[in-house]
Amino acid sequence: MQSPPSYFGKYPNLAFSREAETGILEIRMHTDGGPCLYNDRVQSDLVDALHDINRDWDNRVIIWTGTGDIWMGGPDFSTFGDVADPNAWDKVYTNERRLLINMLEIDVPMISAVNGPASLHTELILTMDIILASRTAWFQDYPHLTFGIVPGDGLQVLWADALGTSRARYFLWMQEKISAEEGHRLGVVHELLEPDAVMQRAWDVARHLAKQPTLNLRYTRQALTQRLKRLVHEGIGYGMALEGLTAAHLARTSQAKA
């Protein structure tokens, strides 16, 4: 039996498993075996892991999911340092930009198995080709306006593409919760499933896709993400710069009150 790639054990917040005969890779985000809590380490690891995943030619279809009853939790802002310092913010800016771009640079089809509520970094879900969601799931951008910073890390680009510009503005300004059922009606969620059926369906879809020739898997993914790559490249640098200004203002205001 072939040994798993070395990167399978490299990232403490990502669990990997691959079906050798089909090349289907399942990636499960977690923190200590429970729901993934987004922090500086998770951010950095995701950027690097996506490079490793994309360089591995044995990966032919990817399933991406969370752990437990939520898709992702957090964030832990304290781990990102003093964001009023331009050097500290540069790390956040660079990693967030690379994270979203690296996700779109994955050259094989991606299936998002949304196992529960997704209240942050839902833009990552929107980089994927097929979105399956538990009936318990909902989508929201909770952190940005809650803390008084611009939602500029790609949310503003990909939700506008998914919902339309006007609807996306309402979603972000009002920190609206879009249920999985409503998301299905809006066309964001492609299949609505019972919680215990999400992963089985994800594997069924992945095996259906894996019947395609490898070149067709790779090139169809590239064709279907070309426009999104352009939109993200145009919008994320500006968005993260604005987010950084408001994050720095928030940090300085908090320091002055302390």
Strand partners, 70: 67
Looking at residue 258, its pLDDT comes to: 64
Residue 239 pLDDT greater than 80, yes or no: yes
Contact call for residues 148 and 250 (beta carbons, < 8 A): yes
Residue 86 pLDDT greater than 60, yes or no: yes
Looking at residue 228, its pLDDT comes to: 98
119-171: pLDDT as tens digits = 999 999 999 999 999 999 999 999 999 999 999 999 999 999 999 999 999 99
Residue 70 pLDDT greater than 70, yes or no: yes
Quote the CA–CA distance of 183 and 65 in Å, as a whole number: 17
Please, what is the average pLDDT of the chain? 96
Domains of the chain from N-terminus onward: 6-198+210-257 (3.90.226.10)
177-190: pLDDT as tens digits = 999 999 999 999 99
- What is the percent of the chain with per-residue pLDDT over 70, rounded to a whole number? 99
The long-range contacts involving 42-47, CB below 8 angstroms and separated by at least 24 positions, are: 42/13, 42/74, 43/92, 43/95, 43/96, 43/99, 44/95, 45/11, 45/12, 45/13, 45/14, 46/14, 46/99, 46/102, 47/95, 47/98, 47/99, 47/102
Q: Where in the sequence numbering do the catalytic residues fall? A: 123
Structure tokens at 200: 């089985």
Looking at residue 216, its pLDDT comes to: 98
* pTM summary value: 0.96
Looking at residue 3, its pLDDT comes to: 86
Contact call for residues 112 and 131 (beta carbons, < 8 A): yes
Contact call for residues 33 and 69 (beta carbons, < 8 A): no
